[in-house]
Homo-oligomer: A and B are copies of this chain.
Amino acid sequence: MKAIILAAGRGERMNSSLPKPLHKVLGLSLIERVIIPLLKAGIKEIIVVLGYKGEEIENYLKKKFKDKKINFQFVYNNDYEKGNGASFLLALKRLKADEPFLLLMADHIYSPTIIERLLKEKDSFIVVNQNFSLIKDLAEETKVKINNGYLVAIGKDLKDFDGVDGGIFLLRRKDWQLNKKEGELCLIIKEYLKKEKIKPFYLKKDEYVFNINDQESKKWASNYLLNHCGKKEDGIISRNINRKISKLFTQFLINLNCSPLTFTIINFLLTILAAFSFFFSNILGAFLVQLVSIFDGVDGEIARLKLATTKFGAYLDAILDRYGDTIIMLSLAFAHYLKTNQDLIFFWTIWAILGSNISMILKEKEKLLFSYSFTNPLLPPSRDLRLFLIFLFGIFNQLFPLVIFLAIFINLGVLIRLLLVKRFAKED
């Protein structure tokens, strides 16, 4: 399928000489945020309608995506001041009759999952946002009215409306001619409606669309993304403490031109540093361990925010977390042993390490066997909580009680997991 991206407008309210599609939000330009989800969905034929500083954008895109084998068509609309309707009509001429296509705006930020879901559909659709908490200034938005499952009205000044235009359409070029030749896109959509019906495509929970008009709406979208870049499975410490701090790192580090993997490696080095610092001071070690726990979120946050998550990244992260945890536990046990000569601490430490590794194996096994992973307050503490316990006990110099507590708590958790699975499986 082909995609049309309208990127001709001046965007003067951005108060910047940079054309709007090239403005960056959390490390990616607006137009990158439109194109990357298309690539992930397998769309490689992209028609970009350019106007204001069009050549600058064309050169930028050619350079940015030069390894991606995208078949770009650049269409120039010199009358871009007269509204994006004409831009759309110009692009439309590049399509074959009866060919379905996506229509997107270069100044909208949207969840990649919308494209994945939309591509499974057959009819004509307009993405409709009914989550008004996402909207900064309703007056700025194009509203839509839905009746009996179809779009019946669209416009900025609609008084009676059901949602807001998400700036993404799945349409089909037909052999008919549209009468309107200029004006805003919604006038053209009204023309289209006279010939074909368009259905609303609603956002799911957790999906978002942002219309970027000015610096404030850019900031608004950026804040939303930053506040929602955690993971669903985040533990209690992650959610309430770590993410709140890690996003400050992320906000800064995302603008460096580094891959998420860089931060995975840096965090592993930091882990080793934290581990060995127990030989000097438990308090220093404890604080560094908590820093590791916080910084551990950065690689994933950057990957998600830059639409750059990879399976290899998740895989490497899992390995380094395991080695990292073990190095921390062994170091603090050894440091304690050197000070106190209590060799029994090794016994408990080994069981704590073993239990947390077994818990990890079981989590994966549960997903494989039952397509489900058990969560329960009684289950072995997740990594964020474990590291937080090391931090807490560490600053009070209670390393021996710490490892006993972890060993018992974690291995008891394995037992509870087993019972939960037994009950869940309901087999003979």
Residues of chain A whose beta carbon lies under 8 Å from any beta carbon of chain B:
308, 310-312, 314-316, 318-319, 322-323, 326, 330, 346, 350, 353-354, 357-358, 360-362, 364-370, 414, 418, 421-422, 425, 427-428
Contact = CB atoms under 8 A, between A and B. Distances in A.
Contacts of A350: 326, 330, 350, 353
A308 B427 CA distance: 10
Contacts of A319: 358, 362, 414, 418
A24 to B, nearest CB: 19
Contact of A364 (B322, B346, B365): B365
Give how many copies assemble into the complex: 2
Contact of A354 (B353, B364, B366, B428): B353
A364, A370, A414, A418: residue with the most chain B Cβ atoms closer than 10 Å = A364
A312 B354 contact: no
B357 A318 contact: no
23 contacts: A310-B428, A311-B369, A311-B370, A311-B421, A312-B421, A314-B369, A315-B362, A315-B365, A315-B366, A318-B362, A318-B365, A319-B414, A319-B418, A322-B361, A323-B354, A323-B358, A326-B354, A346-B346, A350-B350, A357-B357, A357-B358, A364-B364, A367-B368
Contacts of A370: 311
Nearest to A415: B319
Given A365-B364, A369-B315, A427 B310 contact: yes
A315 to B, nearest CB: 5
Contacts of A357: 322, 354, 357-358, 361
Given A323-B358, A330-B350, A353-B354, 10 more contacts: A312-B421, A314-B369, A315-B421, A318-B362, A319-B362, A322-B354, A354-B357, A360-B361, A361-B364, A364-B364
A362 B365 CA distance: 11
A312 B311 CA distance: 28
A364 B350 CA distance: 22
Contact of A427 (B312, B326, B346, B366): B312
A331 to B, nearest CB: 12
A425 B312 contact: yes
Nearest to A411: B323
A350 B357 CA distance: 12
A326 B370 CA distance: 26
Q: Which of A322, A326, A361, A418 has the most CB of B within 10 A?
A: A361
Contacts of A353: 350, 354
